[in-house]
Each structure stands twice: as structure tokens, then as C-alpha cells.
Chains A and B, each alone.
Chain A
Amino acid sequence: MDAIFLQILNGLDKGSAYALIALGLTLIFGTLGVVNFAHGALFMLGAFCAVTLNRILTISSTSIDPTRTDFLGNPMQVQTPYVEKWFGTEFGASLIEWSVPLAILFSIPIMAFVGLAMERGLIKHFYKRPHADQILVTFGLAIVIQEIVKYFYGANPIPTPAPDVFKGSFDFGVLIGYEANTILYPYWRLIYFSFAAAVICAVFAFLQFTTFGMVVRAGMADRETVGLLGIDIDRRFTIMFAIAAVVAGLAGVMYTPILSPNYHMGMDFLVLSFVVVVVGGMGSLPGAVAAGFLLGILESFASKAEVIAILPGINQVIIYVIAIFILLMRPRGLMGRKGVMET
């Protein structure tokens, strides 16, 4: 039983990432009807927002400390980050340490801008083109974004640690009546999951309880009629695109302590996120979220040694196998609306 709990928990953090990316993909598909292969690149950009903020905060001035010497006997050079100079050593150091959570604030305007620029600059011209063209052009865009990031940050993963407070693990077992140390769960993953849940709730609440969200939902159902009512639906869909970009970016920012960002992390997640979207049902927001968590948890179950002993290699392919089954058995996915891209 405790093993089952552990696997569920392990699946949650990856599942949250899938759910967030898939949510963004579905938002874009549901509103604009565009298949965005560059969404993984947005996730990656978010992660690199965190890296960038960390780099900005650690820009240092070099001074010579006469009291200490390095191993050659010369006076040692000390790097002092400017933030420590300006805000005091203690506060500055904690700023640097908390760079990942701070990057949430930093990344929102950046990702929103990237999303707007992408939609207005490129995707706008592809509404009427076939899906194959949309896939191809966003695929090209993803390559371009990747290569730009690679040019500036290199090809190696850049470790970006979480604040020290979250370094340990949370003893989840004690909470539900098991012995100590049976179900350990790193704090950061817990935070990632709660964060993802909060973001997802926020997006749903935004769509459900605001006038803006209502109009967007109406536009998803029948774009033409909403347009005829004199509402500038295109502008709202563009904003939804920006929101989807921000969601992907936030997923990336918070994922950096779990996986050191490198330039192709987006592509790795994108393939799986597409599978998630398809399993959940194209155009269904709850479906995307549910399928994201479901596949994350299933993947973690499949990587258990006992399961691999019965079905070798299942941990590698479980997601694809499920996707293939779903697509063939239930073409519209778990919660897909009737008639949306069923063929």
C-alpha cells in the first residue's frame, strides 16, 4: 500500500508538468484552432527565464581582499554580487537563493510578451492554412527558439537549485499513519504539484467566473456568432494565447530545480504533452489536465521494478501504448467534445 502511495506521489510532479503544458496546448487549440508545436519551446523558455534571473542576480563586482590569499600567494579576488552590495549581504544572498520562485514574477511579463509576439507575428497568418502547415511552421519556430537559446546558454544543462528551505523531503507516510521514512517526498516536488494545481485552478476560475472568460468560452463554442455580436474575439483569443504561453513558462520556471534546463528539454516534453492532449481529448481543458496527471502517475507505476519484471521495457513505452489504444478505441479522447477533430 505504501508503495502505491509512493508511486502516485512520484507521478504527480511529472504529471503536473504534462498537465500544465497540455492545458496550454488545449487552450490554443480550442481558441485559435492552431496546433502549436512550439509549445515545448515556450516551456523551455520559461525554464531559461529562471536561469536568466539567477544570472542577473549573481552579476558580481570583483574586488581584491587583502586579508586572504589564493593558492599562489596573490591577494584573493572576491566576487560580490551587486545585489549583496546594494541590499545588504544577508538579503542579497537570500534573493539569489530564492531566484527560482522570484523568477515566477520575472517570467510572467516575458512569457506574455513572447506569446503575444508569436501570435501576432506568426500564428495569425496561419488560421486558415491546413493543420499540416501549422505543425510545420511551429516546428520550425521551435527549432529557431531552441537554437537561439543554445547559442546564448550553451548545450549543457544548467543546474538551478531551489531555495535551501525546500532541500529536504517531506515524510508523507507519517501523515497517513505509516512508519516514519517509508514514504518520503521531496519538498520541492510537493510545491511543484501545489503550484501546478493553483495555476490550473486559476485558469479555470478565470474562464469560468470572469466576463472575459465567458466571452472566450462562447468564442470557443461558436466563434462566428460571437464575432457577429460585435465582440472583437480575435483580440481575446490572442490574449488567451499569451496566457497559454505564460502557463507553459511557469511550468518551466518551477521545473528547473527538478530537471536542470537544457535547450532541448522542451521538445522532450512536447512529444509527451501532445500525447496527453490527444488522450485527454482535443479541445477539452479538463481532459487535458486529467490525462496529464493520469499519464504521469501511470508512467511512475510502470517504472516500478516489479512491473518491469513482468513486462520489460514497459516504463519506456506505457504512455505511447495508452495513446495508441485511446486513439483507436475512443477517437475523441477521454473527455473530448463530440465532433471536435474526431476523424
Chain B
Amino acid sequence: MLGLTRNDNRLLLFVVGLTMLAPFLLNPFPEGSAMAQFNAGYPDLMQRFVIFGIFAIGFNILFGLTGYLSFGHAAFLGIGSYAGVWMMKLLTMNVIPAILVSVIVAGLLSLIIGYISLRRSGIYFSILTLAFAQMCYSLAYSVFTPVTGGETGLQLSLNDPRIIGTAVTDSGNIPPPNLFGIAMRDGFEWQVGDWLFTFNAGYYLAAVVMLIAFYISIRIFRSPFGMMLRAVKSNQQRLDYTGLNIKPYTLAAFVISGMYAGLAGGLMVAMDPLAGAERMLWTASGEVVLMTILGGAGTLIGPVLGAGMIKYFENIFSKINETILHQWFAFLPDGLEDAVVFMIYPFIGKGWHLTLGIMFMLVVIFLPGGLVEGGQRVGRLFRKRKPDATSDASQTKPAE
């Protein structure tokens, strides 16, 4: 199917199932129960899952395949957002032009930055991309304030021309972002017993875009082009000696991943039409690095998992406060309860970044392949139990 191998097909179907059924999967607990706060099935968060999933997939095409660690990818996401909002201000509230233009603009910017940065490799490349991203951020805050809105950010207003679409709705409001009339915030809720499932138009648009992005990334991974990128990662010197010019390949990878970031920025705008410079800050670039590494750099599904995990923790863990903790551990004796809460409290709620940092360090130290490798190891552990004898026999033993 679609020119994929059987395994890749299964992976793609798995991701299709995951995204399409997300409103059910992420809402496993009934409304009003104590566990309801772990439900992540509300549109805002689901949209963020898939949008950051796209961002991380794109980053993985660069970092996972070529090994070039960019610390400035947020710049492309930021400029994509700005371009998207401008399309909505000037042209129409339909999201299609906004998304397309943000991809193109981000692609152009990444072409420029990539062309310069890729003249160096290793840590210099990281620092160059970091410097460029910080430059974009500073410029967005200062000189380009007329274009970017500076500190307040770029917002829609009633005075925008919107040549193709309607500038103002009949009721005098700014029209919502829509896809040929379907507003992004539209959706319907389905009540089953105690469960409330929300199906949101914006989420499904983003999910479909993510599936396409994921499919393209599978094709890139399996293509000769992807092989070439992997060769860059494993031994660039040898590749140079064969007389190949690797620059076009790495540049193409950089631009593709920049366009993915722009796509994510455009989708972000489509869901919520505003853009701010803080999206370009280098901590935002660091976040996508965290997502990719945590999930597993160089694997197909890893970045998506990493993005989902970090966004889930960010939104769900950070909501847990001390009172909720006390409720959970109320069954313990008083002194012990306080002690347990005291021990756990620094790691969740406002301190979830600490958990993230520790988790990230552990992954880098012990599991360079990220969660995917962790999963594989666990899987191997279970599989090894039964056919122990066969694996022993197949191993070649060193001669004595």
C-alpha cells in the first residue's frame, strides 16, 4: 500500500488509528471522576499533540538522519506563524493559504540559514543555528515590530483587509479561521454514559496533515536520499573521500525540516490566529530537541511519541497541585502522607520541568535511542524468555 513495506504499513496504520481515535483514547476516564484530570482529550491539547508531532518529525529528518544538531529550529516555526497570521490578515480566513504560505516562507528562511550554517558541522553548526535563531528572535522583538507586533505579538483585527474573504462577520466579529466554511473550533460532543468525547474540526485537520507529514517522512527514511543522509551521519569523511558533495543532501534535509517546522507554525495559527516572538526563543528550539531525543532520534515513531509525552506532561502534570496530592495519599497515616507529598511535590505541578530534565538526562545517558529503544529492549526481554536455547546456538562464539 502506498509503496511501503509491510512493517511500515503497519506502523502507518497504527499512527492513523492513534490519531483518528485520539478523542477516545485520550479520554479513558469518565467525567467527574477523580482521574478525570488525566484526560487529555480536549481539542486544545490534542491539536498541540499533533502540531508538535509534525514539528518533531521534521526535526528528526535533520537530526535523526544526518546527525546535525540544530538549536534554532523554533525560528522556522515562528516565522511560519507570522506568515500564517499575515495571510489571514490580508487574504482570507481560510486556513489553506495560511498554511501553504507559512510552509513556503519557512522553507525560504531555512534555505538561507541552512546554506550558511551547513558550511560548518558539529558543534559549530549547533552554535550557528542557535545564533541565527536568537537573531531572528531579537529582530522580531525590535526592528520588525511593525511586521511582528513586537512584544504584544501579531493579532487579527477588524480593520484587516482580507481581500478574498469577509473582513467582518455580520455580528461585527472577526471571522474564525475556517476550512471552506468549517470553522476550526467547530466540532461536536458525544456523550456516552459518563464519558464525554469531543470531536473537533481543527484537530482532525491537523491530524490529517500530520498523517501526510508522517507518510512523507517514512518515504524519505526509506528512499535513496534517506540512505545518503544516514551515510552523512555514520561517516561523513568517507563520503567525502568517495568524491560526493554532501552539501546538497544536507541542505535539502535542512530545508525539508524547516518546512515541517513552518507547517507546524501555520497549523498553530490555523487553530489560534496569533503569533508571538517567544515561539522563536531558543528554549522553544530546545523543546523540540527534547521531544525528538526523548522519543528516539532516527526512528520514525519516536518524535511523535516524544512530542505527545512532553505536551501531555506539560499540560496534565503541571495542573496537579498540593491539595490534589494530599487527596491521593489521604489513605496514608498523616505524618507519612505529608512526607510522601513533600517528596513528590517538587517533581510535579510547577516543577514538572525538573522531572523533564531528569528524564531527559536519563534517556541521554542510558537510552540513546530514546523511548523507542526502551520499548524494544523490554520487548526483547519478553521474547527472549522462551526461545533461549535457539538464540544461544545462533550466536557465534569466539575461538579459544
Q: Does B126 contact A (CB under 8 A)?
A: yes
Contact of A151 among B67, B119, B354 (CB under 8 A): B354
Give, as a whole number of angstroms, the nearest-CB distance from B134 to chain A: 6
Assembled-state Cα–Cα distance A38/B134 (Å): 19
- Per-position contact with A for B349-382: 1 when CB-CB < 8 Å, else 0? 0010110111011001100100000000000000
The B interface, classified by DSSP as helix, strand, loop or mixed, is helix
Given known pairs A132-B67, A136-B293, A312-B143, the reply for A317 and B364 (CB within 8 Å) is no
Known: A151-B346, A151-B351, A278-B127. A140 touches B282 (CB 8 A): no
Which residues from chain A contact B132 at a C-beta distance below 8 Å? Answer: 320, 324
CA of A288 to CA of B326, assembled, Å: 51
Measured CA separation A139–B120 after assembly (Å): 21
A125 at the interface (CB under 8 A from B): yes
Given known A-B contacts A271-B130, A317-B138, A323-B131, A131 and B122 have beta carbons under 8 A apart: yes
Q: Is B142 an interface residue (CB 8 A)?
A: yes
Given the interface pairs A135-B69, A341-B122, A341-B123, the reply to whether A140 lies near B143 with Cβ below 8 Å is: no
- With A35-B123, A267-B283 as known contacts, state yes or no: A147 contacts B139, CB within 8 Å: no
Chain B residue numbers with a CB within 8 Å of A331 are 120, 124
Q: How many residue-residue contacts, CB under 8 A, span A and B?
A: 110
Q: How far is the CA of A165 from the CA of B138 in the complex (A)?
A: 37
Nearest-Cβ distance from residue A331 to partner chain B, whole angstroms: 7
Q: Tell me if B206 is interfacial: C-beta within 8 Å of chain A.
A: no
Interface string of B123-166 (1 = CB under 8 A from A): 11011101110110011011110000000000000000000000
The one of B124, B138, B143, B357 that contacts A143, using a Cβ cutoff of 8 Å: B357
Distance from A43 Cβ to chain B, minimum over Cβ atoms (Å):
17
The verdict on A316 contacting chain B, using a C-beta distance below 8 Å, is yes
Q: List 28 A-B contacts (CB under 8 A).
A: A131-B122, A135-B126, A136-B69, A136-B293, A136-B360, A140-B361, A144-B354, A147-B353, A148-B354, A274-B130, A278-B124, A313-B139, A316-B135, A316-B138, A316-B139, A317-B138, A319-B131, A320-B131, A320-B138, A321-B135, A323-B127, A323-B131, A324-B128, A324-B131, A327-B120, A328-B119, A331-B120, A341-B123
Known: A324-B131, A343-B122, A343-B124. 11 other contacts (CB 8 A): A136-B289, A140-B357, A147-B357, A150-B351, A274-B130, A316-B135, A316-B141, A323-B127, A327-B124, A341-B124, A343-B120
> Quick check: A137 and B356 within 8 Å, CB to CB?
no
Instruction: Out of A35, A131, A132, A313, name the residue touching B143 (CB < 8 Å).
Output: A313
B: contact size bracket: 35 or more
Chain A residues whose CB sits within 8 angstroms of the CB of B144 once the complex forms: 313
Instruction: Identify which of residues 86-142 in chain B touch chain A, using a CB-to-CB cut-off of 8 Å.
Output: 116, 119-124, 126-128, 130-132, 134-135, 138-139, 141-142
Contacts of B130 in A (CB 8 A): 271, 274
A146 CB contacts on chain B under 8 angstroms: 353, 357
Knowing A320-B131, A343-B122, say if A271 contacts B354 (CB, 8 Å).
Answer: no
B128 touching A131, Cβ below 8 Å:
no
Residue of A nearest to B286 (CB): A139
Instruction: Give Cα A139–Cα B356 distance, bound, in whole angstroms.
Output: 12
- Please give me the 7 A-B residue pairs with the lowest Cβ-Cβ distance, nearest first: A313-B143, A143-B357, A316-B138, A147-B354, A140-B361, A144-B357, A320-B131
Residues of A within 8 A of B (CB): 35, 122, 125, 130-133, 135-137, 139-141, 143-144, 146-148, 150-151, 267, 271, 274-275, 278, 282, 312-313, 316-317, 319-321, 323-324, 327-328, 331, 341, 343
Would you give the shortest CB distance from A134 to chain B, in whole angstroms?
A: 9
Residues from chain B with Cβ under 8 Å of A143 in the complex: 353-354, 356-357, 360
Which residues of the partner chain B approach A343 to less than 8 Å between Cβ atoms? 120-122, 124
Least CB distance, B188 to chain A, in whole angstroms:
40
B368 contacts which chain A residues (CB < 8 A)? 133
How many angstroms between the C-alpha atoms of A319 and B131 in the bound complex? 9
The minimal Cβ–Cβ distance linking A130 to chain B, given in whole angstroms, is: 8
Q: Does B361 lie within 8 Å of A144, measured CB to CB? A: yes
A319 to B142, CA, bound (A): 15
Q: In the assembled complex, which residues on chain A have CB atoms less than 8 Å from the CB atom of B123?
A: 35, 131, 135, 282, 341
Contact B116 A324 (CB under 8 A): yes
Query: Closest CB-CB distance, B234 to chain A, in whole Å?
Result: 11
* 8 Å CB contact of B358 from A144, A150, A312, A327: A144
CB-CB under 8 A for A312 and B124, given A137-B361, A141-B361: no
Partner of A275, one of B127, B138, B286: B127
Residues A313 and B361 in contact, CB atoms below 8 Å apart: no
B127 touches A274 (CB 8 A): yes
**Contact assessment for B135 and A320 in the assembled complex, using a CB-CB cutoff below 8 Å:** yes
> What is the bound-complex CA distance between A139 and B119, given in angstroms?
24
CB <8 Å contact, B139 and A317: yes
Give every chain B residue within 8 A of A137 (Cβ-Cβ). 361, 364-365
A312–B143 Cα distance when bound, in Å, is 6
**Residue on B nearest A277 in the bound complex, by CB:** B127
Q: Given the interface contacts A317-B139, A328-B116, A328-B119, does A275 sit within 8 Å of B131 by beta carbon?
A: yes
State in angstroms the CA–CA spacing of A138 and B283 once bound together. 14
Give the nearest-CB partner of A137 in chain B.
Answer: B364
Q: Among the interface residues A140, A267, A316, A343, which one has the most CB atoms of the partner chain B within 10 A? A: A140
Q: Please indicate the chain A residues that have their CB under 8 angstroms from the CB of B293 in the complex.
A: 136
In the assembled complex, which residues on chain A have CB atoms less than 8 Å from the CB atom of B138? 313, 316-317, 320
A-side contacts of B142, CB under 8 Å? 312-313, 316
B351 touches A147 (CB 8 A): yes
| In contact, A317 and B128 (Cβ under 8 angstroms) | no
Distance between A127 CB and nearest chain B CB, rounded to angstroms: 13
How far is A316 from B368 in the complex, measured between Cα atoms in Å? 36
In the bound complex, CA of A94 to CA of B393 (Å): 78
Measured CA separation A32–B357 after assembly (Å): 24
Q: Which residues of B contact A133 (CB under 8 A)?
A: 364, 368
From A125, A132, A267, A341, B69 is in contact (CB under 8 Å) with: A132
**A-side contacts of B121, CB under 8 Å:** 343
A324–B124 alpha-carbon span in the complex (Å):
10
Residues of A within 8 A of B124 (CB): 278, 327, 331, 341, 343
Query: When chains A and B are docked, how far (Å) is the Cα of A136 from the Cα of B291?
Result: 12
CA A321 to CA B116, docked complex, whole Å: 12
Docked pose: A130 CA to B119 CA in angstroms: 20
List B contacts of A147 (CB < 8 A): 351, 353-354, 357
Smallest Cβ distance from B125 to chain A, in angstroms? 9
Q: Which residues of A contact B119 (CB under 8 A)?
A: 328
Residues of B60-91 at the interface with A, using a CB-CB cut-off of 8 Å, are 67, 69
Contacts of B67 in A (CB 8 A): 130, 132
- Hey, which chain B residues are within 8 Å of A316, CB to CB? 135, 138-139, 141-143
